Amino acid sequence: MNQVFLWIGRLLVVSVLWTGNVAADALTPKPAPSRQLSGIFAPDPEGVWRTITRTDSTSDCIGDPVAPLCAVETHLACYQRRVRDYCRIAFGPTYDDSPDYYVEDPPYSYTSYRVIKTWLAGPEDLKPRPRIGLSRKQGDLMIDLIIRACWPKDIFDPAFCSTPDVPTTYTVRRFESGWAVVDIYVPWH
C-alpha cells in the first residue's frame, strides 16, 4: 500500500511541475500579431522581443504590407534574409533601386526588435534635421523600434545581442498597394 501512495505522490509532483511550466509559459507575454496592428497601437510589453532570422520570424506578414508594422518588418527582412524584393515591397511606391537600399546583415546574425512607441506625425516631426531630408507628412504613422543585432550560441558563447540606447524611427504611410516605409531616422547617423 505504501508503494501505491509513493507512486501517486510522484505522479502528483510531476503533474504539478509540468502544469506549472505550462502555466508559466502561458503567462509569458507574447507580441501581438503584426497584421492585426493598425493606427496608433500599443508598444510591445517590457521584455518581449520580436525576431527575424534568415528562415523564421515572429512576424506573420513579411512581404505582405497589410499593416504598418508589416511594412517595417518586410524592410528588416530585406537585409536579414538578403531578399532585395522585400525592400521593393517595404518601400512601395517610394522605392529607389539604388545600392544604398540593400546592405546585407552579417551572416549567422539575426534581428531582434521591439516596438516602444507609435504616434501620428505632427508639426514637430516635420522639422528638418541637419543633413537629413525627411519624407514625412503630417498624419503619417511613426513607429519607434529598439533594434538589436544578435548572434546565436553556436557563434558566440554565451549568445548575445547588442543593446542600443536610442530607437530607430520608421515613418509609414498607407498607399493604394498597402503600407510602405517612407522614412527611417536613425539618431546616431
pLDDT tens string for the chain (189 positions)? 444 333 333 333 333 333 343 444 556 678 899 999 988 999 999 989 999 998 999 999 999 999 999 999 999 999 888 888 999 999 998 887 665 545 555 667 889 999 999 999 999 888 877 666 668 899 999 999 999 989 887 667 667 888 787 899 999 999 998 999 999 988 754
Q: Is residue 14 part of a domain?
A: no
Domain carrying residue 81: 31-185
Q: Is residue 18 part of a domain?
A: no
Number of domains in the chain: 1
Q: Is residue 71 part of a domain?
A: yes
Q: Is residue 1 part of a domain?
A: no
Q: Is residue 9 part of a domain?
A: no
CATH code assigned at 105: 3.10.450
Q: Is residue 50 part of a domain?
A: yes
Between strands 110-120 and 50-52, the pairing is antiparallel
Q: Is residue 120 part of a domain?
A: yes
Contact 52, 73 (CB under 8 A): yes
Name residues whose C-beta falls within 8 Å of residue 121's C-beta, 6 or more positions apart in sequence.
136, 137, 138, 139, 140, 141, 142, 171
For Cα atoms 171, 173, 179, give the angle at the middle one, nearest 5 degrees: 110
